[in-house]
Amino acid sequence: MRLGVLAGEASGDILGAAVAAELSSRHGRLELQGIGGERLAAQGLQTLHPMDRLAVFGIVDPLKRLPELLRVRRQVFRAQAEWQPDLFLGIDSPDFNLALEAKLKAGGVKTAHLVSPSVWAWRPGRVHKIARAVDLMLCLLPFEPGFYRDAGVPAVCVGHPLIEELALMAPRDTIRAETGLQPSDSVLAVLPGSRAGEVAALMPVYADTMVRLAGRHKHLRFLIPAANEARMEQIRSALRGFDLPVTLTLGSGREVMCASDAVLLASGTATLEAMLLRRPMVIAYRMPWLSWQILSRMAVTPFVGLPNVLAGRQVVPELLQEAAAPEMLAQQVEAVLARGNETQLPVFEELAAQIGGGFAGRAADAIESLTGGRGA
């Protein structure tokens, strides 16, 4: 089987690698070409361009990099059109992938897109563009296929890979002991995001919040995971000059959340991870002013955190833009540390039960439904 693939971020690389491994096990030999990270490379990906050049933040940053991004997209299109895969799978990165998928589909290449764009949250008119771009939308959340079917777009829920991944983690007590925590320690996990722009916008506010919390709670410790060495240096720089009981780790975001008593984090997939780990949380997010002005006017849902979107109500506090101020954040974190297990965890249990597992197998089934099992 020949599979074209494009993952623009680390999370997409993880998803793509899981699907590729499943298809390889079924077909014996899987040829991969496109863009991805280390995990897809380990599955044999013939890489056309470094993945990290596609990771952009907000709306203004992509505009600044537009010539390069358009050049890469043209390069990938020419390579895929010549190679003629059995299917092209775009993974997340919808603004980049959907235009590429539309051109490939128009040229006769079967296309699928993994991870539904949040059309149910903002810019719902994108569903018409999606209809022109994909033969099948592979959704991770159970309510999404119904939205697409109503718009005439073939869609299927393939479950969420986090279900299986988190089940393989070590017990919480083991993780806490390995992190050097005492049973009596109260721990706040602080996750400022994985992109440079996110860390730059959020970490100074998070640091001021931590100072206030440390001054009022002498036994509170902080754990901060950095997505990579560059983010580690950014976080260290933001914390320089502060005397805080903080431990930084390279990666290990899930372990950090699991070891914590509560989580302060940006929006995104990490909110779903925290929910499935049954960790109470506070969401705080800032982005450049212009990006916020544009995106907020396109929103059709009042929530940014996936637990709240799934629940249809605010279960988790969300403090956005100016509301994400240190004193407000500190107060919300204190409330969650005190009562989060009572107010949030029962809802998390219900929501987790609605999300199916078996992601890799179900995604491979969906792909084979489009390719007719070619390569078997």
**pLDDT tens-digit series, residues 208-225:** 999 999 999 999 999 999
Which pLDDT does position 64 carry in this prediction? Answer: 67
pLDDT in the model for residue 197: 87
Would 28 be classed as within a structural domain?
yes
Q: Are residues 191 and 83 located together in one domain of the fold? A: no
Same domain flag for 348 and 304: yes
| Cβ–Cβ < 8 Å for 304, 318 | yes
Beta strands in the chain (DSSP E): 2-7, 31-35, 45-47, 87-91, 111-114, 136-139, 155-157, 186-191, 220-226, 246-250, 262-265, 281-285, 318-320
Helices 126-133 and 94-106, interaxial angle, to 10°?
40
Indicate the average pLDDT of the chain. Answer: 90
Report the distance separating Cα 309 and Cα 288, nearest Å. 23
- The predicted model gives 50-60 an average pLDDT of 66
Sheet holding 45-47, edge to edge: 45-47, 31-35, 2-7, 87-91, 111-114, 136-139, 155-157
Cα distance between residue 323 and residue 78, in whole Å: 46
Residue ranges making up the domain that contains 240? 166-354
**C-alpha dihedral (347, 352, 354, 360), degrees to nearest 10:** 160
Token code pair at residue 138: 């592979």
Same domain, 259 and 336: yes
- The token pair at 1 is 């089987």
**pLDDT of res. 292:** 63
pLDDT value of residue 121: 67
pLDDT at residue number 51: 87
324, burial (CB in 10 Å: exposed 0-12, middle 13-18, buried 19+): buried
What is the mean pLDDT of the segment spanning 155-175? 91
Helices (H) and strands (E) in the chain, counts: 18, 13
Give how many domains the chain has, as a whole number.
2
pLDDT over threshold 80, residue 291: no
Are 126 and 356 within 8 A, CB to CB? no
Structural domain includes residue 191: yes
Give the pLDDT score at 55: 65
The per-residue pLDDT for 294 is: 65
My answer on whether 128 and 144 are in the same domain is yes
Whether residue 61 is found in the same domain as residue 207? no
- Looking at the fold, whether 208 and 327 belong to one and the same domain comes out as yes
Q: Are residues 30 and 90 in the same domain?
A: yes
Of 203 and 357, the one with more pLDDT:
203
- pLDDT, residue 376, reads 43
pLDDT above 80 (res 96): yes
Helices 345-354 and 326-343 cross at an angle (nearest 10°) of: 70
Q: Indicate if 336 and 303 belong to the same structural domain.
A: yes
Question: What separation in angstroms does the CA of 293 have from each of 118, 301, 321?
Answer: 18, 15, 11
Q: Select the more confidently predicted residue: 87 or 52.
A: 87
What's phi and psi for 311, nearest 5 deg?
A: -80, -20
What is the per-residue pLDDT across 275-288, written as a single tens digit (0 to 9) for each?
999 999 999 988 77
CATH code for the domain in which residue 196 is found: 3.40.50.2000
Give a yes or no: residue 376 inside a domain: no
Distance from C-alpha of 309 to C-alpha of 304, rounded to nearest angstrom: 7
pLDDT digits (tens, 9 = 90+) for 184-209: 899 999 999 888 889 999 999 999 99
**Same domain, residue pair 156 and 219:** no
Q: From the centroid of its chain, how far is CA 306?
A: 10
